[in-house]
Amino acid sequence: MEIKEDSIISPLPQEALLLDRERKWRVKLPTAYRKFIKKYNGSSPIKDSFLCNKHKYTVDSFLCILQVTGNNEYYDIGIVKTQLDERIVTDEELVGTELLPIAVLFAGDFICLDYRDSTEEPTVCVWNHEESGDLDPVTYFLCDSFTTFLTLLK
């Protein structure tokens, strides 16, 4: 994977932080994604476009995982997840995570790990911000894994 110079956000997340976030979000992060975020936290890819649902999308940047959040300069997964709140769940009583945003796309949509069918093996989807409403997230299936998603970037 090639990324834009100086786009990685430090400090890089360590295993303890990833385990903490998994407990908080009640999911298991895919192994390939864990390796990626530990190396490329918050980065912007050079090959940044892909096709989904007959539409071309562009990745602005991957979201980051930070120990200390609250810095508006960066797109932290936890902050974005909180901001999207009821627009990325189907049940307001849900404890855990259905859609975990991992990358921001041009124009406000997000790439998400989709845990609705499995908390162990999420698929990857595009979450559409314009069509989604409270407790009614609109997503487009992209691929079966994070590894496959990376191969789709052109």
pLDDT at 71: 59
Q: Where are the domains of the chain?
A: 15-152
Instruction: Work out the average pLDDT over 32-58.
Output: 97
Q: What is the pLDDT of residue 69?
A: 63
pLDDT of residue 73: 57
The per-residue pLDDT for 93 is 82
Q: Is the pTM of this model over 0.85?
A: yes
Query: Where does the pLDDT of residue 23 fall: very low under 50, low under 70, confident under 90, or very high at 90 and above?
Result: very high
Q: Judge whether residue 128 has pLDDT over 90.
A: yes
| Cα→Cα distances 55→48, 49, 95, 118, Å | 14, 10, 33, 26
**CATH code given to domain 15-152:** 3.40.1580
Are the C-beta atoms of 121 and 148 separated by less than 8 Å? no
Residue 59 to residue 20: CA distance in whole angstroms = 26
Whole-Å CA distances, 111 to 11, 93, 118, 127: 23, 24, 17, 6
Residue 92 is predicted with a pLDDT of 83
- First-last CA distance in the chain: 11
pLDDT digits (tens, 9 = 90+) for 46-95: 999 999 999 999 999 999 999 876 655 568 999 899 899 899 999 888 87
- Position with higher pLDDT, 5 vs 49: 49
Structure confidence at residue 133 (pLDDT): 93
Mean pLDDT, all residues of the chain: 93
pLDDT at 75: 86
Tokens of 144: 């079966």
> Contact at 8 Å (CB) between 154 and 59?
no
